[in-house]
Structure 1
Amino acid sequence: MIESILPAGVIAVDTFEDPPQATLFPEEEFLVSKAVAKRRAEFTTGRWCARQAMQRMGRRPAPILVGPRGEPQWPDGLVGSITHCAGYRAAVAAPAAHVSTVGIDAEPHETMPDGVFEAVSLPEERDRIMLLEREHPGLHWDRMLFSAKESVYKAWYPLAERWLDFEDASVTFHPGTATFTAELKVTGPRLHGRSLTGFSGRWLVEKDLVITAIAVPAQARQPTLSAR
């Protein structure tokens, strides 16, 4: 499902269940040795999806450990992203020679819990979401914003290797094209010879899920922000 919002060359694998054949490498087992069953299932199936993607690329399956912020550490020469929520797990991977960074996120298509939307959004974003709710009812735009910001962070961190707060990026949705843009409010890292100022992504609402994705091509122009 998620492959429909990703460019060619990014391999995606997703599932709506935890397959019994999903296993971990010993190094990964250690990371979840004390985890509750829910966390262990999410972690295991996410890694299983990632290794299925590797195999489709002709790469040998390998452990995917975690970095200082809990981010997946992909084998040399690969970039990727993993997401999971209730009833859904997905992973994407691509050669680093073709894609600079990728970020994906999946969320249940439902209203955010009380107080969360205000905590993760900027005033300008709240104004835009209110307008979207009037003009395009039936979609949970608050949840979409949260998901987009998660994808932004996952695309940002491998490039910058530093934290990005929710208020450090301003997201604008473009319903006509099912896309979004994110304007960075902080100085970004150098990418393709220029300072990174934002990301462009796509979104999908299907099977009671909100899914967002960002993929930045390697050796390409910096993503530009669409006119508001």
Structure 2
Amino acid sequence: MTTILVTGGTGTLGRLVTERLRADGHEVRVLSRHSRPHGVDLREGGPGLDAAVAGVDTVVHCASTPRGGDEQAAANLIAAARRSGVRHLLYISIVGVDRVPFGYYRAKLAVEEQVARSGLGWTVLRATQFHDLLVQVFQALAKVPVMVLPAGVSDQPVEVAEVADRLAELAAGAPAGRVDDLAGPEVRTLESLARAFLEASGRRCAVLNVPLWGAAYRSFRAGGHLAPERAVGKGTFEAYLATRIRRR
């Protein structure tokens, strides 16, 4: 079996990828800012990053933040991977990063391009948004009596465990370039998803759809972040809510 480094290995996705890979018999190193022995801030790099990558066959790059710095983090990781002779760099991205002019999406697309130009064997998988993210958003919006949603926007959430399974499969294989997207089983309006969340959590909250403005909103409204032709995920939003949300 191979030695695999998972960046962001303590996060929502990275933790599950780590579990899958270890269950399959791989030696797995976890890199994050607070993990030990590989507590590294990828945006800063340094000797700790070189030590984490040394002797690694494959890197699964899950570390990411909408607060900025992904491109610098990728540059540092790629440089360390080159020095160490990493065979395979696998990156998880988001469906629609090339169609939606949203700041975080642009950064993810830039990292995809860095990976493709890295000179390493590489694979990029794009997935739609996780159920977990929608729930975090709805929980925040439901703190006031009226939940305000962007009018006309739909989503296609996917179960994070299914994305982890696919990444573990890809990590064990050869570099494959840009592979088929992984999207959830249903395209749903944000309002229908929000009402499902409110029902499952027992919250009482009005829902108001409000038109917004800007190129990013128009792209989301047009479905640039969706992949209905790749609706291969199995887990529905209601199934997620049934196991993860406790009624108030």
- The structure with the largest alpha-carbon Rg is 2
Q: Larger strand proportion, structure 1 or 2?
A: 1
TM-score by length of 1: 0.30
Q: Larger helix proportion, structure 1 or 2?
A: 2
